[in-house]
Structure 1
Amino acid sequence: MTTDIGAAAKQADAFLAGKKKADDTAFMLGRVLAEMGIRVGDRDSWPQLIGRASLSGEPSVFLGTVPLPTVRKLINALIYAESEQRSQRDQGHGA
């Protein structure tokens, strides 16, 4: 194998590994959203969620355009989770 072919093969392997990691992450995020009652693929809920990777293999997840009511639902869930976490942390220090 020449060095050009070897470099291209390594780049392809890195891309595929990154794409798999991104696809797995997008899948898990989709599952979490489904648990919250947010339907991926529904225009009114969350139209698009795609795993991607750069040629170097850096994984990323494209979230698409998310409707405002869905964003509000996520914000409320994150605020609630943060307040619960702080409450548990404060109770731990007071005990």
Structure 2
Amino acid sequence: MTADTEAVAQPSDAFVAGKKRADDTAFMLDRVLAEMGIRVGDRDSWPQLQGRASLSGEPYVYLGTVPMATARKLLDALIYAHSEKRMREH
């Protein structure tokens, strides 16, 4: 390999930083889900959760497909949290 092709083969600093941020976010989300009793990696609960990044370094979290029961549990928790927040504001 020449220096040019090696440089192309190496991930950019932006990509690596974005991937790390996405991995950290996915880890935190995993911990929150675990507190709710939702297990990441379990086919019946939440099969896949991964931190990813675009080549430009934009981080994102791939959530995979989520079973309806898990999605409903999350929606109920979000609705409850929002209603509690609104009650505290009034």
| Shared fold, TM over 0.5 | yes
Cα shift readout 1:45-89 (whole Å, capped 9, x = no counterpart): 000000000000000000000000000000000000000000000
Residue of structure 2 in register with 1:30 after alignment: 30
- 2:49 corresponds to which residue? 49
Deviation at 1:28, TM superposition (A): 0.1
- 5 Å-filtered alignment, 1:12-23, equals 12-23=12-23
* CA distance in 2: counterparts of 1:50 and 1:25, whole angstroms: 9
Structure 1 residue runs of 4 or more that deviate by more than 3 Å after TM superposition: none
Distance (whole Å) between structure 2 residues aligned to residue 63 and residue 14 of structure 1:
22
Please, which runs of 5 or more residues in structure 1 have no aligned partner? 91-95
Instruction: Name the structure with the higher helix share.
Output: 1
Relative to the length of structure 1, the TM-score reads 0.84
Q: Between Structure 1 and Structure 2, how many residues are aligned?
A: 85
Cα-Cα RMSD:
1.8
Is 1:66 the equivalent of 2:66? yes
Q: Give secondary structure in 2 for the equivalent of 1:51.
A: strand
